[in-house]
Amino acid sequence: MTVAEYIANQLFNAGVRYVFGIPGGPSIPYMEAFQSAGIEFILTSDEASAGIMADVSGRITGIPGVCHATFGPGATNISTGIGGALLDRSPVIVLTSEMDDTMLNRTVQMNINHQKLFEPLTKATFRINQTNVPEVISTALRICREEYPGPVHIGLPADIAETEVDESQVTLRGVETINHMNDSTSIVSLLSRSRRPLLAIGLTAARLGINKELVTFLDKYKIPVVITPMAKGLLSEEHLSYAGVLFHALSNYLEDIFQKTDLIIGLGYDPVEYNYESWMPDVPLIDFNTKQTDMPEAENIVQFVGPHEEWFDILKNLNAGSIIFEQAVVKGIRDEMSTVFSGFTGHFGPVTALKILQEELPADAIITSDVGSHLHLLGQYWETHGKGKVIMTNGWSGMGFGIPAALAAQITRPDATVVCISGDGGFLMKAGEIVTARRYKLPVIVVVFSDGELNLIKLKKEWQNLPVYGTMLYQGDLFGADMFLGVKVLKADSHQSMQTAIKKALSLNEPVIINVNINPEDYKWLIVRR
């Protein structure tokens, strides 16, 4: 096999069916090899979107997402999406064209050192040659899926694609087993003595899909649960133990629980989303995870590293009979939040727009959200009912995430209703991907909360009593027309027009934009100051 054919076949055998990116001249043999192997090359409008789409593809399927970029500017562009895969913990392989050996260290157009570029953004970076291709591909596929999942970069020299692979030098390594020294005695002691424990559940738990084990555990140990934003949907919002989402809108109401607890139990909690010390009271912490991670400097913190099945075995040392937990406290907090949110539905603002979306969309819809004030609101307010899925970026938190994330979700789940909720700032960053949606006939609904400003930055300036400037995006209507890049734009500026727009969008089997004109003033009363 040629190098290109070998890589294509190995990716296909690993379950890969799509490669996202923008090609350059040296990419052509790989594109042909991908097609022959049964892998579709998805052309994006910019390389950062390709990285995001690979990230979300990997999250949804568990199969490594694959993206590709050419030399220099292609590589630097795609690196933004790769940073997301690193800090949002998604298995990704990023391929970039590189100069051949004779020109690698010369002064050449578009030439930079890709290994140095991707070293801080990936779990590993490689440059292939004829003899190391099998080992590099095998190793990359393994590393990107190991805990924590993340991206691996592979550089493809421009002159190597059509040379033959030499498999005689390959040495394939298995997964290394690491024995962790866990202080089980201290953990059991803390669990047995606790009377008011609190579960804090995070990104790793959501990725592992511990829903059933969690619900079974809570049926016996009826203790309150808080979750981080990217764990949204792991536990139904109607569950009696569900208290709310950390960091997002109205999360200060959760302090009533924090003040009463005597032990925090972290389950798959990843501090890349929200550090423990940013919210937890001065009580002991037991952190159950798949790998050791950095913790606050305190004596009353114990970590347990191992598979999630072992987490629940150890948690049986909680004394169910002596736990003091009033479900009325959790219900009271949820009711307070609901009352506050309801107070903002008497006019057409962001809460009303989300309320109508929740009512009109199918319960199992996949929602992707861009970064901004609307995300803080969505993360707390939206109800998944244990059926829907909310996809966001919180470890990386890069604007422009929403649209490419929705496209990847629609490609990997073609029968799903996929809706992107974006601010106008994030929309403008990735507006070109509307053409990508057209090209591949992806019926995503892109809901743009148009307020003409970078509202979250404006709020942060106001919190510091600073003059507000550099946050206004435009004046007047964002679109000013009923079509944008060949896609219908439906306007919503009232309860009735919002309902009408959603119903119309759902009836069309094509990409649609809903331009939601809102007043952003509500945000300053709902977003928690940090």
For 515, the 3-state DSSP assignment is strand
8 A C-beta contact, residue 431 and residue 380: no
What tokens does 70 get? 């050419």
Residues in the chain: 530
In terms of Cα–Cα distance, which of 405, 404, 414 is closest to 435? 404
Q: How far is CA 205 from CA 245, 269, 448, in A?
A: 14, 7, 30
In terms of Cα–Cα distance, which of 341, 438, 330, 329 is closest to 380? 341
109-122 pLDDT per residue, tens: 788 899 999 999 99
- What's the pLDDT at 130? 85
- What's the pLDDT at 386? 82
Listing DSSP states for 456-486 in one string gives: HHHHHHHHTTPPP-S-B--SS-SS-SSEETT
> Can you tell me which residue has the tokens 């996949």?
366
Same fold: 3-169 with 343-526? yes
Q: How far is CA 184 from CA 178, 228, 293, 306, 411, in A?
A: 17, 26, 17, 12, 44
In terms of Cα–Cα distance, which of 250, 202, 254 is closest to 229? 202
- What is the spatial order of strands in the sheet that 418-423 belongs to? 389-391, 366-369, 418-423, 445-450, 512-517, 487-492, 483-484
For the chain, count helices (H), then strands (E).
20, 19
- What mean pLDDT do residues 56-73 have? 97
Q: How far is CA 183 from CA 287, 359, 530, in A?
A: 12, 48, 34
What tokens does 97 get? 């064209």
- What's the pLDDT at 500? 98
pLDDT > 70? residue 173:
no
92-111 pLDDT per residue, tens: 999 999 988 887 887 787 88
What tokens does 347 get? 């006019």
- What's the pLDDT at 350? 97
Query: Which of 99-103, 172-176, 352-356 is modeled with the greatest confidence?
Result: 352-356
293-309 pLDDT per residue, tens: 888 888 899 999 999 99
- What's the pLDDT at 172? 53
Q: Does CATH place domain 3-169 in 3.40.50.970?
A: yes
- What's the pLDDT at 111? 84
96 DSSP β-pair partners: 69, 155
> Could you tell me the pLDDT band of residue 387, with boundaries at 50, 70 and 90?
confident
DSSP 287: E
470-499 pLDDT per residue, tens: 999 999 999 999 999 999 999 999 999 999
1-19 pLDDT per residue, tens: 999 999 999 999 999 999 9
- What is the spatial order of strands in the sheet that 263-267 belongs to? 242-245, 225-227, 197-201, 263-267, 285-289, 301-305
- What's the pLDDT at 171? 58
In this prediction, what percent of the chain has a pLDDT beyond 70?
98
- What's the pLDDT at 174? 56
8 A C-beta contact, residue 391 and residue 405: yes
| Domain extents in the chain | 3-169, 184-331, 343-526
pLDDT > 90? residue 335:
yes
**Assigned fold of 184-331:** Rossmann fold (3.40.50)
506-529 pLDDT per residue, tens: 999 999 999 999 999 999 999 998
Residue 422 and residue 446: Cα distance in Å, rounded? Answer: 7
Residue 221 and residue 452: Cα distance in Å, rounded? Answer: 48
350 contacts: CB under 8 Å, gap ≥ 6: 344, 373, 374, 377, 449, 518, 520, 522, 523
- What's the pLDDT at 181? 72
- What mean pLDDT do residues 323-344 have? 93
In this prediction, what percent of the chain has a pLDDT beyond 90?
88
Residue 444 and residue 70: Cα distance in Å, rounded? Answer: 28
180-211 pLDDT per residue, tens: 678 999 999 999 999 999 999 999 999 999 99
428-457 pLDDT per residue, tens: 999 999 999 999 999 999 999 999 999 999
CATH architecture of residue range(s) 343-526? 3-Layer(aba) Sandwich (3.40)
254 contacts: CB under 8 Å, gap ≥ 6: 226, 243, 244, 246, 279, 333
Residue 217 and residue 194: Cα distance in Å, rounded? Answer: 16
The continuous run of DSSP H or E covering 513 comes out as: strand 512-517
| Positive/negative CA dihedral, 271, 273, 277, 279 | negative
DSSP 145: T
In terms of Cα–Cα distance, which of 413, 346, 330 is closest to 59? 413
207-242 pLDDT per residue, tens: 999 999 999 999 999 999 999 999 999 999 999 999
512 DSSP β-pair partners: 445, 488
- What's the pLDDT at 325? 80
163 contacts: CB under 8 Å, gap ≥ 6: 2, 3, 130
